């Protein structure tokens, strides 16, 4: 099993605060060691609150923004100004607020003719920015866990979680589960990209996440193992930032 750790806070607000402080610490250390720090952002309400804290005092003044390169782990296939866009959320909470050079921000383009082509563009971008690597090596990958067990946009029932050679792929979760919201295709990193990150932070709040978290942490493979059990193959440390409701397993 991967090197798992749990950080349990009282509520979602406390989770966001704790995670923001720990994200800042990882990025500062990576920038000092390597001259740059790379992070892949996640979508969702808990990360959004976290990003807002990073863009505010005191954290915003402590971060070496000129040395931080910001990527995305996944994206909904909608225009970048669409309400469902992960980029729009991060832009409003962090990218447009903190003093981040725009040339340091690398969105997943979703303005192409289809998700397949945009996944290929995303992979090409990653290969340009992480040359000579079998897979990109992010200093920090941020993830969430869906109630259905998905992480990034690796949804159960789709081929995406089984894609082990590409750096990026796409999926249509609604083809397998019509209830997934929003009902759009996704572009996402593949499991090996997650496995290769130096550190992975998973933000999960609410009691609806507890059953999936229990299956991720279970020593024996559950009969209905969720996609997010792939986190057990990570090379680096995986830290779960949970509220008390999610951590009851």
Radius of gyration of the chain (CA): 17
User: What's the rounded Cα separation, in Å, for the pair 48 and 26?
Assistant: 18
pLDDT in tens, 216-231: 999 998 889 999 999 9
At the topology level of CATH, where does 8-220 sit?
A: Rossmann fold (3.40.50)
Look at the pTM and tell me if it is higher than 0.85. Answer: yes
pLDDT at residue 21 tops 70 = yes
pLDDT in tens, 99-157: 999 999 999 999 877 999 999 999 999 999 999 889 999 999 999 999 999 999 999 99
Q: Can you state the percent helix, strand and coil of the chain, rounding each to 5? A: 40, 20, 40
Strand (E) or helix (H) holding 88: helix 86-90
pLDDT tens track for 196-217: 999 999 999 999 999 999 999 9
pLDDT digits (tens, 9 = 90+) for 39-78: 999 998 889 999 999 999 999 999 999 999 999 999 999 9
Is the pLDDT at 23 greater than 70, yes or no? Answer: yes
Tell me how crowded residue 30 is: count the other CB atoms within 10 A of its CB: 22
Whole-number pLDDT of residue 130? 96
Spell out the residues 6+ positions from residue 21 whose beta carbon is closer than 8 angstroms to its own.
59
């Amino acid at each position: 099993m991967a090197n798992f750790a749990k950080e349990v806070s009282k509520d979602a607000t406390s989770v966001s605060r704790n995670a923001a402080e720990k994200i800042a610490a990882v990025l500062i250390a990576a920038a000092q060691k390597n001259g740059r720090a790379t992070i892949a952002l996640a979508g969702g309400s808990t990360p959004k609150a976290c990003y807002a804290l990073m863009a505010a005092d005191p954290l915003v003044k402590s971060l070496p923004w000129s040395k931080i390169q910001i990527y995305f782990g996944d994206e909904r296939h909608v225009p970048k100004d669409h309400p469902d866009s992960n980029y729009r959320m991060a832009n409003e909470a962090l990218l447009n607020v903190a003093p981040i050079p725009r040339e340091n921000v690398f969105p997943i383009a979703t303005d192409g003719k289809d998700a397949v082509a945009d996944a290929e563009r995303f992979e090409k971008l990653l290969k340009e920015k992480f040359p000579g690597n079998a897979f990109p090596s992010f200093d920090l990958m941020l993830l969430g866990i869906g109630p259905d067990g998905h992480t990034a946009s690796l949804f159960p029932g789709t081929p995406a979680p089984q894609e082990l050679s590409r750096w990026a792929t796409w999926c249509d979760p609604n083809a397998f589960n019509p209830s997934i919201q929003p009902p759009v295709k996704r572009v996402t990193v593949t499991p090996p990209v997650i496995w290769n990150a130096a550190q992975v932070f998973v933000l999960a709040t609410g009691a609806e996440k507890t059953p999936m978290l229990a299956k991720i942490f279970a020593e024996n493979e559950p009969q209905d193992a969720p996609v997010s059990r792939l986190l057990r193959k990570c090379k680096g440390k995986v830290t779960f930032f949970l509220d008390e409701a999610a951590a009851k397993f």
